[in-house]
Amino acid sequence: MSCYTGTCDGPKVRAFFASYVENADSVIDSDFVRMLNKWVALFETLKKRTTDVQTYSKQVQARLKTVSSKVNSVKANVCKNNACKGSTPANAFKKYASTIATVKSLQGVPSAAGKSLANIPKMTQITRNAIKYTTTPADEAYYLKLMDEYQINSLRDVVKAFRVTQYLPQAAEDLKKLTGTFNLISNHAGAAKTAATSINQILSVNWAKNSELSKTTSGRKVRDGLINIQRSFRNDLKGPLDNLIKANKAVEDILVQVPLRKKRLEFYSGGVSYSRWTNARMPVPCKKENTKSWTIGGFPASYTYQEVQACEFGPTKVPFIKNVIPYMKYRFV
């Protein structure tokens, strides 16, 4: 090619590779491209679900302040004169404190969700680029660089016409790092479930039927205060926390469909050569010598001449030009 002997004709070089890419239906319409298109759709849904996580986690922390204030105000009001020294109210307030502390440990979720949301456009763009570089020809500069750097040395190298072969390895590493930021959300999922379980335990207590706290006026005041606190946990905190847990699960259900989050990509490209031939058998022209004799004046005479006839040729093996099948292989390990 002229690139190796003189000046490259850029438009012709690109036209050559573009024709190859545009006619490679097995690559353009492949499972690989379908997977990437699925990821783009998943990232759009992921954006919505991560926004839900951010919204509900903020709501949980805001409502937690309401519940915490309720607990403190009730305790200050009903626990005067050692009214809460008994094990029943004391254990109840310990339960409230531990539950509030667990919910408070989720205060990093809004920030984690924000960081993850900021990465989704980058994840989408990386994936869209991979689709583009697999299904459409690259620009002239890309192909000229391949030629100038002697990266096309045999038919096996022609697969580099697909820019994705040069783009994907690093892109996959970048995408893996970006999806890793969602671990900041996942790391809080266990605490959210623990808090929800604790709230359900708080709500399961029937203080109205507690005989111990129904004996005295001060006891009944404590009892009513605990019922008031219980109502605050139910009305103010349980709903947003349950919604946060559902949003967390929705995010995880999406991410599990993106293998790069927990695995790395192994990618190979190249070409496999193969030979073709045919067994030929056909009539071909051949010459045959004939002799004709005669007698002139009692003297014999003859002459030899050549005659063209059809002869059978073959069967014989006729090789075709060696071909190369380009390939791109990938797996998640």
Per-residue pLDDT band for 2 (boundaries 50, 70, 90) equals low
Core vs surface per residue 81-117: b (16+ CB within 10 A) or e? eebbeeebbeebbeebeebbebbeebeebbebbbebb
Shared domain check, 305 and 176: no
Shared domain check, 281 and 165: no
Shared domain check, 68 and 190: yes
Shared domain check, 286 and 256: no
Whether 6 shows a pLDDT value over 70: the answer reads no
Shared domain check, 295 and 257: no
Quote the pLDDT of residue 156.
Answer: 83
Shared domain check, 291 and 264: no
Per-residue pLDDT band for 231 (boundaries 50, 70, 90) equals very high
277: helix, strand or coil: strand
Mean pLDDT of 234-242: 98
- E strands, the chain, are 265-274, 277-296, 299-319, 323-332
Whether 105 shows a pLDDT value over 70: the answer reads yes
Q: Rounded to 5 degrees, what are φ and ψ at 298?
A: 85, 0
Shared domain check, 125 and 80: yes
Shared domain check, 309 and 167: no
Mean pLDDT of 289-301: 85
Whether 184 shows a pLDDT value over 50: the answer reads yes
Mean pLDDT of 121-134: 97
Shared domain check, 81 and 180: yes
Final residue of a domain: which of 237, 255, 271? 271
Whether 85 shows a pLDDT value over 50: the answer reads yes
Whether 280 shows a pLDDT value over 80: the answer reads yes
Of 22 and 273, which is predicted with more confidence? Answer: 22
Whether 220 shows a pLDDT value over 60: the answer reads yes
Quote the pLDDT of residue 9.
Answer: 86
Map tokens 């059978």 to a residue.
312
Quote the pLDDT of residue 325.
Answer: 80
Of 331 and 325, which is predicted with more confidence? Answer: 331
Give the total number of structural domains in the chain. Answer: 2
Alpha-carbon distances of 104 from 64, 149, 199, 234, rounded to whole Å: 8, 58, 13, 17
Shared domain check, 306 and 175: no
Name the residue type at position 10: G
Final residue of a domain: which of 250, 271, 292? 271
Domain containing 164: what range? 2-271
Shared domain check, 285 and 267: no
Of 224 and 276, which is predicted with more confidence? Answer: 224
Shared domain check, 32 and 61: yes
Quote the pLDDT of residue 136.
Answer: 94
Mean pLDDT of 197-225: 94
Q: Which structure tokens are listed for 83?
A: 């009214």
C-alpha 258: how far from chain center = 3
Question: What's the pLDDT tens digit per position in 12-56?
Answer: 999 999 998 998 888 889 999 999 999 999 999 999 999 999 999
Quote the pLDDT of residue 1.
Answer: 47
Query: Which residue from 329, 14, 322, 331 is spatially nearest to 152, judged by alpha carbons?
Result: 14
